Structure 1
Amino acid sequence: MTVRLVCIDAPETAQGQSGTEATQMLKQLLSNASLELRPQTIDKYGRTVAEVYAGGRNVNLELVRMGLAYAYRDYLGGCDANAYLDAEAQAERYRQGVWRWGNKLKPWDFRKQQRSN
């Protein structure tokens, strides 16, 4: 099963340190924990779109709180939008993750740029 983390968008691995860090932290959060999926839908690529909980902790929200993902504003409908936006604001305020590394290009803009090249 392939899962797309709902309500967030993380830097692509091709975006350098931020993408690499996000991938490593996701693997760490998922390792050695019981997982629970809270599916919302299936996307056009056949992926289950869900909030993922590891050991009772919301992994999607945790990645945003750590500054390793952005609240995906276009797709916050099925989540606690305020929690995701607050987590992102906190990460920015404390200059965590992408805010510390000075990412100028959001993942959705990076993908759009890659398609046009």
Structure 2
Amino acid sequence: MVGISEGDLITVNSYGNEIKVRLYGIAAPQTGKVDKFTGWSKPGQPYADEAFRALSLKVLHQQVKIDIRRTVALQQDREQRQYALAVVYLEGRNINLEMVTEGWAWAYKKLITRNDFHAYLFAERRARTRKLGLWSQESPQPPWEYQPKLRINPRHYSP
């Protein structure tokens, strides 16, 4: 069973344990974030919703196989978040590579091993050439460079 958090982040239920899985080798556009309690929000990137939808259509509520490449622990504020960096397979298909091939994500070169580098880079080049998905934009900004501005909902703010 799979749930989707972003265009490159899923939650897999394995024997009753929920595992956060970041898709290895890819970086999808960041989705918008809203804190319903405080009213703070961060806008998302162009094509973030489309990448989220594409991944959802592929794996949501499906039984997938994950090939964990490494585990990562992030320290944010007082909370530590752990996730697996993994290749997601559905019926033998490499979902990570499909997301890049279809133009919903960048090949994330920093985290790709030498064995996978050429396949992911070729998939990205091909999507760029065909102007698929996010590559239909003039010059898409990769998520690792994206700096969203925080906004506050005035209904939640009282001076």
On whether the aligned pair clears a TM of 0.5, the verdict is yes
Q: TM-score, normalised by structure 2?
A: 0.66
Bigger relative contact order, structure 1 or 2 (CA pairs below 8 A, ≥6 apart):
1
What CA distance in whole angstroms lies between the structure 2 residues aligned with 1:3 and 1:103? 28
What CA distance in whole angstroms lies between the structure 2 residues aligned with 1:81 and 1:109? 21
Instruction: Give 3-state SS (helix, strand or coil) of 1:91's partner.
Output: helix
Q: What displacement does 1:114 show?
A: 3.6
Conserved? CA contact 1:7–1:76, under 8 Å: yes
Q: Judging changes above 3 Å, is the alpha-carbon distance between structure 1 residues 104 and 31 closer, same or farther for their aligned structure 2 residues? A: closer
Instruction: Give 3-state SS (helix, strand or coil) of 2:88's partner.
Output: strand
Instruction: Give 3-state SS (helix, strand or coil) of 1:2's partner.
Output: strand
Q: What displacement does 1:13 show?
A: 1.3
User: In the TM superposition, what are the counterparts of 1:6-45 in structure 2 within 5 Å?
Assistant: 6-14=24-32, 15-31=44-60, 33-44=62-73, 45=81
Q: What displacement does 1:34 show?
A: 3.4
What CA distance in whole angstroms lies between the structure 2 residues aligned with 1:59 and 1:32? 14
Q: What displacement does 1:33 show?
A: 4.3
Q: Judging changes above 3 Å, is the alpha-carbon distance between structure 1 residues 7 and 78 closer, same or farther for their aligned structure 2 residues? A: farther
RMSD of aligned Cα (Å) = 2.2
Q: TM-score, normalised by structure 1?
A: 0.87
Q: Judging changes above 3 Å, is the alpha-carbon distance between structure 1 residues 28 and 40 closer, same or farther for their aligned structure 2 residues? A: same
**Match of residue 21 from structure 2:** 3
Q: Runs of 5+ in structure 2 lacking a partner?
A: 1-18, 33-43, 74-80, 150-159
What CA distance in whole angstroms lies between the structure 2 residues aligned with 1:3 and 1:80? 18
Deviations along 1:56-104, one digit per CA (max 9) or x if unpaired, are: 1100000000010000011111751100000000000000011113353
Percent identical residues: 32
Conserved? CA contact 2:100–2:124, under 8 Å: yes
Is residue 74 of structure 1 aligned with residue 110 of structure 2?
yes
Higher helix fraction (1 or 2): 1
What CA distance in whole angstroms lies between the structure 1 residues aligned with 2:130 and 2:120? 15
Deviations along 1:16-65, one digit per CA (max 9) or x if unpaired, are: 44100000010111146431100011111310110000121100000000
Conserved? CA contact 1:7–1:79, under 8 Å: no
